[in-house]
Amino acid sequence: MDGKRNPVRIKAFCVGQAKSGTASLVGLLSTNYRAAHEPERPELLDMILRESRGELSAGDFRKVLLERDVRLNLEYDVSWVNQFVIGHLLDVFPASKFIVLIRDSYSWLQSAIGHVISRELPSEIVNFLPWWVNPERYPHSRQDRALAERGLYSIAAYLHAWNDHVNRCTPQIPEDRRLVLRTHELAHSHARLADFLEIPLDTLDAGSGHQNRSTWADRIESLVDPGYIDTMVQSVCADNMNRYFPEVRNAQDVPGLWEAVPRETAT
């Protein structure tokens, strides 16, 4: 990354949710720019937990972010962890912009659960998940007991994590510093991305724009009744789904969403 010196006018952070396309975004940017995927993730997750326990002040947290920025010398910091420190990032980097990746809650749920089932999670994520997902607030119901048997969290817990990400990121970031991209449209949003970052369109590496594909061949409906998933999405995520995915009324609409011609979304 150190040798890449394309002229950059805008420094940016991605605050996409996990499994929302952050690896693909780095694939677009890292060929020609100093971009990193989840840089120093273990250290940042630990700082978030320490701050939540009152062991690290906001001032000290922001000091570390500044020191880290100088040391890493990144133009584009792309990480799902950034969503939890958005307030600090806005304060410490007042000239920076933010890319918010949002994936529809149905395919995100499939991908998130499939990732946990099919891969061994790093220890820092295992330790962070209870703070992130709040399982004690959202216990399993009889409808998703198959998830409990596999050591997974409830549908409600996962969906609240999805909803909290949207609520956390979109209102806090000023509109002129925020670009919202729907995950299924990322491959068709290169012009919007380049315009937002004020970089030449041909510096995005379209050939490296689909990374970290799912390895789980099964479907979540084999574990949880699809009608219950629809009910929970409507209960937890309705406002944000209606705003960002108005064409999705239930799970049956999701395949068409990914196959449809992309359209512009509100930022």
Q: What's the total number of domains in the chain? A: 1
Res. 63: pLDDT tops 60? yes
Looking at residue 239, what is its pLDDT? 98
Question: 72 — phi, psi (to 5°)?
Answer: -80, -30
Which domain does 214 fall in, by range?
12-259
In this prediction, residues 215-231 reach a mean pLDDT of 85
Using the predicted structure, report yes or no on whether residue 168 has a pLDDT greater than 70.
Answer: yes
| Inter-residue contact 61 to 51 (CB < 8 Å) | yes
The DSSP 8-state label assigned to residue 79 in this structure reads -
Give me the mean pLDDT over the 81-103 stretch.
97
* 29/263: higher pLDDT: 29
How much of the chain exceeds pLDDT 70, in percent? 90
Q: Which residues contact 57 (CB under 8 A, 6 or more apart)?
A: 51
**91 is a domain residue:** yes
Question: Can you give the pLDDT at residue 4?
Answer: 58
Residue 217 in contact with residue 208, Cβ under 8 Å? no
Q: Which amino acid is at 230?
A: D
Pick from 164, 133, 166: nearest CA to 147: 133
pLDDT at 22: 96
Establish if 98 belongs to a structural domain: yes
Model confidence at 264, pLDDT cuts 50, 70, 90, reads very low
Would residue 265 count as lying in a domain?
Answer: no
pLDDT in tens, 138-166: 999 999 999 999 999 999 999 999 999 99
Residue 105 has pLDDT above 60, yes or no: yes
- Using CB atoms within 10 Å of the CB of residue 83, give its burial: 0 to 12 exposed, 13 to 18 middle, 19+ buried: buried
Helices (H), 53-97: 58-72, 86-92
Q: Are 65 and 48 in contact (CB under 8 A)?
A: no
Per-residue pLDDT of 47-60, as tens digits, reads 999 999 999 999 99
Residue 3 lies in a domain: no
At 219 the pLDDT is 84
**Domain containing residue 198: CATH number:** 3.40.50
Q: What is the pLDDT of residue 259?
A: 83
* 19-33 pLDDT per residue, tens: 999 999 999 999 999
pLDDT at 5: 54
- The 10 Å Cβ neighbour count of residue 228 is 15
Q: Are 60 and 46 in contact (CB under 8 A)?
A: no
- 252-262 mean pLDDT: 80
Q: What is the mean pLDDT of the chain?
A: 91
Q: Please name the residues in contact with 245: beta carbons below 8 A apart, sequence gap of 6 or more.
A: 104, 105, 182, 257
| 163 within some domain | yes
**pLDDT computed for residue 265 by the predictor:** 40
Give yes or no for residue 210 having a pLDDT over 80: no
CA 153 to chain centre: 18
Mean pLDDT calculated for residue range 96-120 = 94
> What average pLDDT does the segment 83-112 reach?
96
